[in-house]
Structure 1
Amino acid sequence: MCGIIGILGKSPVASLLFDGLKRLEYRGYDSAGIATLVDGRIDRRRAEGKLGNLEKLLSSEPLSGTTGIGHTRWATHGRPNEVNAHPHATEKVAVVHNGIIENFQELRDELRAAGHVFVTETDTETVAHLLTHYLDHGKTPEEAMSMAMTRLQGAFSLAILFAGRPDLMIGARRGSPLAIGYGNGEMYLGSDAMALAPFTSRICYLMEDDWAVITPEGATIYNQDRLVNREVKQTALSGALIGKGNYRHFMMKEIAEQPAVIGDTLQVFLNPLERRIELPAMPFDFAKLSRLTIVACGTAYLAGFVAKYWFEQIARLPVEIDVASEFRYRTAPLPPDGATLVISQSGETADTLAALRYAKSEGNKIIAVVNVPESTIAREADVVLQTLAGPEIGVASTKAFTTQLVVLATLAIAAARARGAIDAKREGELSGALIEVPARVSEVLNHDQRLKEIALKVAEARDVLFLGRGTSYPIALEGALKLKEISYIHAEGYAAGEMKHGPIALIDEEVPVIVVAPYDDLFDKTASNLQEVRARGGRVVFFSDAEGVAKLGGDAMAAVTLPKVDPFVAPILYAVPVQLLAYHAAVAKGTDVDQPRNLAKSVTVE
């Protein structure tokens, strides 16, 4: 959500700032802008909409200057237009900001009474005027920032320029990530390492309530006015990692990468020779755990929903699962002998991070499944299980979801073994099923053309239903989520057995019904629901293996035969065709697949 890039350079930085914003497009945005110091004076270029609009503006009105900041904005306070686009500035200060200033109205009223004139609807402009107010009263930029940190409330990361100071940039972080990049006589600021990858591999991540004074020679970091040291790390990220290759969209590239990244992730947690799960040391004994609480948002929540079935069925471990945005406000009582599992692709999801901190305050140990090991959630967890999905640029999660499932599957097996719910032989069987998944996913990708043909029919619908039972129920929910978020078709996922309790009223000849039904112990139950759909004229798209398709495929508008796998790993496999279906439907409708409207990749505010 939103993106920040800042450069203290030796040569003009506008084009470099723009390139940095391009690398941050994956986070989602609705306007963008750049500010530099030109002969000590703040100059800006801002545009509503996609970066192409800003690029045209920079072409017709070039921006010089060797010090600058840039921003891609996803609107929170104020409409998404040029006036509200960042950077926000006074004659003395320019600011870009991720997050929300919760007390901006109070500060705005106070500053307006002191004579400040506001021209936007944003909370960010308040920061620029607050710093200007302190400068007007004789404070240095460093003193002004120190004072501002005591006044600002909320979650934010800030990059700030000061007129007449091309040798200075200040960054600050509270609840929203910010990284400093170290170059050779040049310095950088960015929302994440992705923005800084082409410039430097030496990265320092600011911690909570840090603010940094950055000059061409380095950075001095403070926390509550105390000088602090933060480790400078080498990052493996490369700008080359974010190209589309031969694919039309990042989303399709990332779907196609799943066999490789699933395999990479498995190699970390599974010994293929001994068919045994090998996890890092846990901060608790699974055998003594009374309950596992799983908390996440969006697609990560649905990965946790699948894991709930696995932990309860295989490990016989009671699981409570909740969306983080609800959990954090429920003040749910957590057993002292329980643990909490949080899942987040970015490791910065605001609601999930708040849930983590609440669970910690209740005495729970924290397991984090994240894709970014340097993230805030990773740093605050007791143990981190990393997904090796690599950078995921498309807003709609694909490879992050399936690698989350892989990690959660290995964790469930380990828990089951520790609790005595399975023996070594069964651990070997389940591990063997996981080992086969990358190859089976490759086989599913071979159905791409068939799924594209089906998607052309689905794209014509106004409403679509997805049905599944057992672990296929969360996959039905995920299929509906994917379809609605990138194609804008209204879609809902239901437990197949719940269809007769309401959703069946929606079914007619115009409503495609996507049925996720591997041939397992629940197949016959799902089959009866499919017949109920058919009896009401519903157009069924049927995903099953050869045995399932042989039994029911003839009753469907379309059927896709997927490889036969152990039911334990079926949800990982069946996630792929629902991704492809959504992708091709969105392409058919001509939507912005990688950056769907109103959505952001990393949700770092409530």
Structure 2
Amino acid sequence: MDPRLFLADLEAKPAALRNLASILTVGDAWAGLPAPVDRVLLLGMGSSRYAAEMAALRLRAAGLDAVAEYASTDASWPPGPRTLVVAISASGTSQETLDAASGYAGSAPLVALTNVPDSPLARVADLVVPMHGGTEEGGVACRTFQHTLVLLLDLAARLSGEPRDVASLARRAADATEDLLARRDEWLPTVADLLDGRHGVYTLAPAERLSSALQSALMVREGPRRPAAGCETGDWSHVDVYLTRTLDYRALLLPGSRYDRPALDWLRSRAATVVAVGADVAEAAAVVRYPGDDDPYVRLLTETLVAELVAARWWAAAF
């Protein structure tokens, strides 16, 4: 793992996203899926599971039976010909995911969503969907997380019949990502300083974009090895608010929840430091905006870049 290469991986995000958008425009990434499908089981660990939770929530909202599981769970839905199993691993070597997928091989339609099409996970699957994230030289799953989100949104649109142009969405996210990268000298030093507290970083996002909060916190833990935790905004008032009384609390808020206000009231009353990304927040010490941030889907695909660049900056300083 190398912070300089991690930064280069982040800088390559817009080009990689546009390449994925082109692939989605000319072909069907999910060609070969079985039909009909009664249930969808998404399996993964770490950031793969974060993305899976986002997709499962959207599939359920469309009226489909879908669940995202830790691949390490002992048991989930039983196999069957109409239960679609999507095993997600960028490397295709995550042992937990490989073990879980192997348990369904031959007894349920099994798809491998992976960045390595000839990986062990791909070899046990009936269908392989490449992430097209390129090699992440920094050793951190950043582009592949973004591409996993895009491809799972594409799967959700396909299974639900939702008329969503995911390729166009990926291009808009590429534009937003490029804008944040181009203007980083304007916002990154301030944001990095504001979040640089003694007790870590706490990220908040609505349930529909909880993957962003969890991935943002993971980037801070994985790169610079600092404490960080992600929380759903509504749940925050029930499980995390207590820390604001005793810690030097630094919050990275990803707005859009109808429960932003209760969280902000607590944060203000406890004199916590708040950085907001994607919307103007009066209580925030700093706000980071970008083109398209009025669209929750563009936010979903873009907003983790802020924490990723903060993590890269802290990591490089300590390297």
**TM-score scaled by structure 1?**
0.49
1:262 aligns with 2:17: yes
Equivalences for residues 98-497 of structure 1 within 5 A: 249-271=4-26, 278-285=28-35, 288-313=36-61, 315-325=62-72, 327=73, 329-330=74-75, 332-360=77-105, 363-417=107-161, 422=162, 426-428=163-165, 430-449=166-185, 450-497=187-234
Instruction: Give the 3 Å change call, closer, same or farther, for CA 399–381 of structure 1 in structure 2.
Output: same
Counterpart CA distance in 2 for 1:280 and 1:303 is 17
Superimposed CA distance per residue, residues 522-563 of structure 1 (whole angstroms, 9 cap, x where no aligned partner): 3x422332222112211111112xxx31xx2x3112211122
Tell me how far 1:331 sits from its aligned partner. Answer: 5.8
Given that residues 202 and 252 in structure 2 are in contact (C-alpha distance below 8 angstroms), is that contact kept between their aligned partners in structure 1?
Answer: yes
**Higher relative contact order, structure no. (Cα contacts within 8 Å, ≥ 6 residues apart):** 2
Tell me how far 1:431 sits from its aligned partner. Answer: 4.5
1:563 aligns with 2:310: no
Equivalences for residues 33-72 of structure 1 within 5 A: none
CA RMSD of aligned residues (A): 2.2
**Match of residue 530, structure 1, among 264, 267, 283:** 264
Query: For residue 66 of structure 2, what is the amino acid of its counterpart?
Result: V
Q: How many residue pairs get matched?
A: 316
For 1:98, the equivalent position in structure 2 comes to none
Tell me how far 1:576 sits from its aligned partner. Answer: 1.4
Instruction: Give the 3 Å change call, closer, same or farther, for CA 581–471 of structure 1 in structure 2.
Output: farther
Instruction: Give the 3 Å change call, closer, same or farther, for CA 280–336 of structure 1 in structure 2.
Output: closer
Given that residues 176 and 302 in structure 2 are in contact (C-alpha distance below 8 angstroms), is that contact kept between their aligned partners in structure 1?
Answer: yes
Given that residues 283 and 382 in structure 1 are in contact (C-alpha distance below 8 angstroms), is that contact kept between their aligned partners in structure 2?
Answer: no
Superimposed CA distance per residue, residues 268-306 of structure 1 (whole angstroms, 9 cap, x where no aligned partner): 2224xxxxx723432411xx3221111111112112122
Counterpart CA distance in 1 for 2:67 and 2:184 is 36
Counterpart CA distance in 2 for 1:581 and 1:366 is 37
Matched residue SS, 1:562 = coil
Superimposed CA distance per residue, residues 464-500 of structure 1 (whole angstroms, 9 cap, x where no aligned partner): 2111103321210111111112222211111111112
Tell me how far 1:371 sits from its aligned partner. Answer: 0.7
Report the structure, 1 or 2, having the larger helix content: 2
Instruction: Give the 3 Å change call, closer, same or farther, for CA 459–396 of structure 1 in structure 2.
Output: farther
Counterpart CA distance in 2 for 1:492 and 1:427 is 32
Instruction: Give the 3 Å change call, closer, same or farther, for CA 318–332 of structure 1 in structure 2.
Output: closer
Superimposed CA distance per residue, residues 5-41 of structure 1 (whole angstroms, 9 cap, x where no aligned partner): xxxxxxxxxxxxxxxxxxxxx5xxxxxxxxxxxxxxx
Given that residues 43 and 49 in structure 2 are in contact (C-alpha distance below 8 angstroms), is that contact kept between their aligned partners in structure 1?
Answer: yes
Tell me how far 1:416 sits from its aligned partner. Answer: 2.1
Counterpart CA distance in 2 for 1:369 and 1:349 is 12
Instruction: Give the 3 Å change call, closer, same or farther, for CA 560–469 of structure 1 in structure 2.
Output: same
Task: Report the identity percentage.
Answer: 22
Query: For residue 558 of structure 1, what is the amino acid of its counterpart?
Result: A
Given that residues 296 and 323 in structure 1 are in contact (C-alpha distance below 8 angstroms), is that contact kept between their aligned partners in structure 2?
Answer: yes
Counterpart CA distance in 2 for 1:331 and 1:573 is 32
Tell me how far 1:338 sits from its aligned partner. Answer: 0.9
Counterpart CA distance in 2 for 1:504 and 1:445 is 32
Counterpart CA distance in 2 for 1:539 and 1:459 is 10
List structure 1 segments (4+ residues) > 3 angstroms apart after TM superposition: none
Query: For residue 574 of structure 1, what is the amino acid of its counterpart?
Result: E
Instruction: Give the 3 Å change call, closer, same or farther, for CA 576–569 of structure 1 in structure 2.
Output: same
Matched residue SS, 2:156 = helix
Counterpart CA distance in 2 for 1:514 and 1:579 is 12
Instruction: Give the 3 Å change call, closer, same or farther, for CA 536–460 of structure 1 in structure 2.
Output: closer
Counterpart CA distance in 1 for 2:31 and 2:64 is 19
Tell me how far 1:257 sits from its aligned partner. Answer: 0.4
Matched residue SS, 1:330 = coil
Tell me how far 1:379 sits from its aligned partner. Answer: 2.0
Query: For residue 443 of structure 1, what is the amino acid of its counterpart?
Result: D
Given that residues 340 and 366 in structure 1 are in contact (C-alpha distance below 8 angstroms), is that contact kept between their aligned partners in structure 2?
Answer: yes
Tell me how far 1:572 sits from its aligned partner. Answer: 0.7
Tell me how far 1:319 sits from its aligned partner. Answer: 1.5
For 2:309, the equivalent position in structure 1 comes to 580
Superimposed CA distance per residue, residues 111-158 of structure 1 (whole angstroms, 9 cap, x where no aligned partner): xxxxxxxxxxxxxxxxxxxxxxxxxxxxxxxxxxxxxxxxxxxxxxxx
Superimposed CA distance per residue, residues 403-437 of structure 1 (whole angstroms, 9 cap, x where no aligned partner): 111221222222222xxxx3xxx334x55333322
For structure 2, the 5+ residue unaligned runs are none
**TM-score scaled by structure 2?**
0.91
Report the structure, 1 or 2, having the larger strand content: 1
Given that residues 172 and 292 in structure 2 are in contact (C-alpha distance below 8 angstroms), is that contact kept between their aligned partners in structure 1?
Answer: no
Instruction: Give the 3 Å change call, closer, same or farther, for CA 297–506 of structure 1 in structure 2.
Output: same
Counterpart CA distance in 2 for 1:452 and 1:583 is 12
Query: For residue 341 of structure 1, what is the amino acid of its counterpart?
Result: V
Given that residues 469 and 495 in structure 1 are in contact (C-alpha distance below 8 angstroms), is that contact kept between their aligned partners in structure 2?
Answer: yes
Given that residues 372 and 386 in structure 1 are in contact (C-alpha distance below 8 angstroms), is that contact kept between their aligned partners in structure 2?
Answer: yes
Given that residues 40 and 84 in structure 2 are in contact (C-alpha distance below 8 angstroms), is that contact kept between their aligned partners in structure 1?
Answer: yes
Query: For residue 575 of structure 1, what is the amino acid of its counterpart?
Result: T
Tell me how far 1:262 sits from its aligned partner. Answer: 1.1
